[in-house]
Amino acid sequence: MNWFLTISAVLLAVVWTVHLVQAAFGVPSIPVLTGNEWDISPEAIARVSGRLPRVTVIVAARNEEAKIEEALRSLVALDYPNLEVIGVDDRSTDATGKLMDGLAGESAGRLRVVHVSALPAGWLGKTHAMWAAAKQSTGDWILFTDADVIFRVDSLRRAVAYLETERADHLVLFPTMITHSWDEQMMIGFFQAMFVFGHRPWKVSDAKARDYIGVGAFNMVRRSVYEKLGTYERLKLAVIDDMRLGELVKKGGFAQRTAFGNNLIRIHWAAGAMGVVRGLTKNFFAFMRFNAFFAVSAAAAVLFLNLMPFVGIVFAHGWQRALFGVAVAGIALLYAGFSSRSEIPAYMFFLHPVSACLFSYTILRSTFVTLAQGGIVWRDTKYGLKELRQGMD
């Protein structure tokens, strides 16, 4: 037991210290698009680009009657003039399609609605909806977003100004997460820490780094690049299509960027801690490439990295306890730093061990549920595991 504590203490102290240092230098380098330097008029953007680029915003919705109206109204109200919004009613059985059609009639031509009545074989519903809308789009830029994202009126104008100034090909704008309870804050705070741990968003702009990124709330890609990558037809069965699109952009050698929005876009992810667990059940096994060994190993790694420092403080002694304390301090400082960039309070650090257990459980739950039902059930449609694995190639 003593040798295990010794190795664990040294390893965890080093890992969390290195990660803290990287984040401390890396996160501040990510631009914040609410700054005055990005409050650029359409006329000024046109001077930078030679002309004002046209932007198509694509949002797919299936049975989203509770959220779709607010999301689409925020898109139609954007202050970027050269804009089209394409909403996709993907086989909805509620009032989603009717609401979208009503909004299109009020939008003075800014919003068009595509109705999908049947899903072709070999596609996921969402990826097919995105592909179908993109085929009809006219924009120089295509922004893929979700049906529950609320946009601030100047968000797109600032994003285009940044992309055109940077001469970049792909932008991920991090959303501000709306929370309604302490357990939502607990889970989202942990997710932020792990996301930054695994993907280093400050490195995605480095062509030599392996890091890439994609976020469903705001995935904006140059049309010519989207087509060179093979369009969403290349992602027919991608469960985590947002990350896969980011991966293709990075591996294709195109310029990828990330930015903070600070309320430029807002989203309420899930209701309560168990809502987050249920929402991620579909995704986590796919993220592990539907490999049970990888999934179990990842669940164990989550517990070791995030729970073991707190266990070590209780059970270790002397310098071992001190090293575990270094790891815990590193986690605490990360939460303190993230609290200035999000609405998650720093004191959620004290619930870090609880959320670590829940996230490890979520990985295992995702693995068990997917294997038990032979695939995933997403928006009332089942997709077989064999087919999904083939889609990973």
Could you tell me which residues are beta bridge partners of residue 84?
56
Mean pLDDT over residues 16-43, rounded? 92
Residues 6+ apart with CB under 8 A from 269: 177, 178, 184, 188, 275, 276, 279
Task: Note the pLDDT of residue 232.
Answer: 96
Fold of 31-175+215-268: Spore Coat Polysaccharide Biosynthesis Protein SpsA; Chain A (3.90.550)
Confidence class for position 92, pLDDT limits 50, 70, 90: very high
Q: Is the pLDDT of residue 13 over 80?
A: yes
Q: How far apart are CA 152 and CA 196, in angstroms?
A: 25
Instruction: Give the start-to-end residue ranges of the domains of the chain.
Output: 2-26+273-388, 31-175+215-268
| Tens digits of residue pLDDT in 149-171 | 999 999 999 999 999 999 999 99
Confidence class for position 246, pLDDT limits 50, 70, 90: very high
Instruction: Decide: 94 and 63 in contact? Cβ < 8 Å.
Output: yes
Q: What percent of the chain has pLDDT over 70?
A: 99
Q: Looking at per-residue confidence, does 97 or 3 come out higher?
A: 97
**Cα radius of gyration (the chain):** 22
Note if the pTM is more than 0.85: yes
Confidence class for position 131, pLDDT limits 50, 70, 90: very high
Task: Note the pLDDT of residue 393.
Answer: 62
Could you tell me which residues are beta bridge partners of residue 177?
267
Q: How far apart are CA 109 and CA 275, in angstroms?
A: 37
| Tens digits of residue pLDDT in 379-388 | 878 888 888 8
Task: Note the pLDDT of residue 134.
Answer: 97
Task: Note the pLDDT of residue 43.
Answer: 95
The phi, psi pair for 329, rounded to 5°, reads: -65, -40
